């Protein structure tokens, strides 16, 4: 009934907007309703975003990315980011540019693609002064969203926003400001300030709404402070009181933090069953998130590479047009002055055109019959299931020979169906194989890194470590330490 009421109110607002002029206050209220649904609602949030997207497609996509990241749907988020990129290319307004680079920075930074995150960070810093102060705060996914600020600048930025929202009497966003200030002070280990900010966040959340989900963030912050100050019993009681609300929350980042704290508090209070429950849930989220993040990182990396290639192609076309126009003007001028030179230039142009035709014919797409394609896909499937990829010295040539086909066919099918090249495909299989071994067989965690590299088919210890870190976001040794802990 509660969901129906909210949905009905939103529908009335949207229908009325079709007949009445939309004020800034109307849109701000509607946007806040949508943003609250992202954290609080598991069922209707996507419909709320759809409605808001009819009014503001760019911001609608940015909010959609926020909602997907909160729910751990990183691959879907990368797809929406590509749509936002297209909108950014079509509309070069500062707010559109800012929101695209803001979300691109958030995703790249979160998935560990640091070089791309740095490039987006530069664009954010350049565009940020041109957009309203509230835009960036309302699209926060977590504190990592503000990583382009220095710590002291983060604090000042949110204090400025706090003053802004106090004037508006927007209690929901006042509460969020106090929560983020608490997190900043908690990171600085100033527990007194952090505790005061979290308490104020809860106070304003109570004014804004009876919805308990918006209050669990500062409550978890208070529990973390209690744990840091060795007040284990009070920390455990806070966390116990939040259990049902956290389970109902769609925020996997929040759950990950909660289960970790709950496991620690349970252990210190000798609550064995609670420790097991929290650990099981924590590692389940970690395992699922790691798998999804690896796939999402690969998806985002492919999008980045494709975008780079598109830009390069676009630049080549522009230079081609410049060269063609310059050549034509030169030919025209020369034709007026020297008729003989004009005909010579024309002859050279015809020769160039013939050469371009031959090049185009050489670049025709490779055509593979359906039967051959199915046979190679079946052999690839058998290759993966039997773990033959862990053999060292594998190459596209040797594998294509064992498949009784040619390397061009094999490369084309891997590119088409695995969305990557042969080397990346092979490395992904090997890293996933060793990750599975580390997670399921404790003996593997005792082996030397060089043995793990050899076990999954890498030729050198250093290559294995580099590929592992690129995929997982940490070194093999760090990953093993994380599992053991």
Structural domain contains residue 466: yes
- Where among 343, 362, 381 does a domain terminate? 362
Whether residue 404 sits in one domain with residue 329: no
Provide mean pLDDT across the span 308-329: 60
Q: Which of 16-20, 119-123, 130-134, 422-426 has the highest mean pLDDT?
A: 422-426
Contact at 8 Å (CB) between 185 and 218? no
pLDDT at 181 over 50: yes
Beta strands in 338-483 (DSSP E): none
- Where among 362, 381, 400 does a domain terminate? 362
CATH code of 376's domain: 1.10.10.60
> Please, what is the average pLDDT of the chain?
79
Whether residue 425 sits in one domain with residue 389: yes
Question: Distance (Å, rounded) from C-alpha 296 to C-alpha 435?
Answer: 17
Cα angle for residues 428, 422, 115 (degrees, 5° grid):
60
Higher pLDDT, 210 or 158: 158
Q: Which of 97-106, 355-364, 448-457 has the highest mean pLDDT?
A: 448-457
Provide mean pLDDT across the span 252-258: 87
Structural domain contains residue 445: yes
pLDDT at 267 over 90: yes
Question: Distance (Å, rounded) from C-alpha 331 to C-alpha 320?
Answer: 16
pTM of the model: 0.56
Whether residue 398 sits in one domain with residue 457: yes
Provide mean pLDDT across the span 115-124: 84
Q: How far is CA 466 from CA 12, 118, 192, 427, in A?
A: 55, 20, 42, 11
Whether residue 376 sits in one domain with residue 327: no
Q: Which residues contact 452 (CB under 8 A, 6 or more apart)?
A: 434, 438, 444, 464, 476
Number of domains in the chain: 2
Distance between first and last Cα of the chain: 44
Task: Write the pLDDT tens digit of every residue in 353-367.
Answer: 544 444 334 334 457
Sort 103 into a burial class: Cβ within 10 Å, 0-12 / 13-18 / 19+: buried
Q: Output the pLDDT for position 362.
A: 39
Structural domain contains residue 149: no
Structural domain contains residue 376: yes
Whether residue 456 sits in one domain with residue 394: yes
Contact at 8 Å (CB) between 336 and 369? no
Contact at 8 Å (CB) between 117 and 146? no
* Residue reference for tokens 């990183």: 74
Pick from 71, 85, 81: nearest CA to 106: 81
Q: What is the dihedral of CA 412, 417, 418, 421, to 10 degrees?
A: 10
Q: Residue 458 has what DSSP assignment?
A: -
- Where among 362, 394, 428 does a domain terminate? 362
Greatest Cα pair distance, the chain, in angstroms, is 98
Domain enclosing residue 340, as ranges: 305-362
Question: Distance (Å, rounded) from C-alpha 190 to C-alpha 229?
Answer: 11
């Amino acid at each position: 009934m509660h969901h129906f009421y909210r949905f009905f109110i939103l529908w009335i607002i949207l229908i009325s907007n079709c007949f009445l002029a939309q004020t800034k206050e109307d849109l701000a209220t509607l946007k806040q309703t949508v943003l609250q649904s992202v954290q609080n609602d598991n069922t209707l949030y996507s419909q709320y975003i759809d409605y808001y997207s009819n009014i503001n497609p760019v911001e609608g996509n940015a909010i959609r990315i926020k909602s997907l990241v909160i729910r751990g749907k990183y691959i879907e988020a990368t797809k929406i980011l590509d749509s936002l990129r297209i909108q950014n290319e079509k509309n070069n307004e500062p707010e559109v540019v800012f929101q695209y680079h803001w979300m691109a920075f958030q995703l790249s930074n979160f998935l560990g693609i640091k070089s791309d995150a740095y490039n987006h960070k530069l664009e954010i810093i350049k565009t940020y002064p041109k957009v309203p102060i509230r835009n960036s705060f309302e699209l926060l996914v977590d504190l990592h969203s503000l990583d382009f600020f220095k710590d002291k600048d983060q604090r000042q930025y949110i204090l400025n926003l706090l003053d802004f929202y106090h004037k508006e009497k927007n209690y929901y966003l006042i509460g969020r400001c106090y929560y983020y200030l608490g997190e900043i002070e908690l990171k600085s280990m100033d527990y007194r300030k952090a505790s005061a900010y979290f308490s104020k966040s809860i106070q304003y959340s109570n004014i804004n709404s009876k919805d308990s989900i918006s209050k669990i963030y500062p409550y978890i912050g208070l529990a973390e402070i209690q744990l840091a100050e060795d007040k284990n019993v009070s920390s455990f009681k806070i966390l116990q009181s939040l259990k049902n609300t956290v389970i109902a929350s769609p925020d996997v980042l929040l759950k990950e933090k909660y289960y970790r704290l709950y496991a620690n508090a349970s252990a210190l209070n000798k609550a064995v069953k609670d420790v097991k429950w929290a650990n099981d849930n924590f590692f389940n989220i970690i395992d699922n998130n790691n798998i999804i993040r690896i796939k999402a990182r690969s998806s985002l990396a492919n999008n980045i590479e494709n975008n780079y290639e598109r830009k390069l192609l676009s630049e080549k076309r522009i230079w081609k047009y410049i060269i063609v126009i310059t050549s034509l003007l030169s030919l025209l001028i020369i034709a007026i002055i020297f008729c003989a030179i004009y005909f010579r230039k024309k002859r050279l142009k015809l020769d160039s055109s013939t050469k371009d035709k031959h090049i185009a014919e050489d670049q025709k797409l490779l055509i593979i019959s359906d039967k051959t394609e199915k046979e190679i896909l079946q052999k690839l499937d058998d290759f993966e299931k039997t773990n033959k990829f862990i053999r060292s010295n594998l190459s596209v040539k040797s594998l294509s020979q064992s498949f009784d086909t040619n390397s061009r066919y094999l490369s084309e099918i891997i590119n088409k169906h695995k969305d990557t090249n042969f080397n990346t495909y092979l490395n992904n299989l090997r890293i996933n194989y060793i990750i599975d071994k580390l997670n399921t067989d404790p003996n593997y965690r005792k082996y030397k890194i060089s043995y793990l590299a050899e076990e999954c088919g890498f030729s050198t210890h250093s290559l294995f470590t580099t590929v592992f870190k690129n995929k997982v976001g940490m070194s093999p040794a760090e990953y093993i330490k994380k599992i053991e802990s």
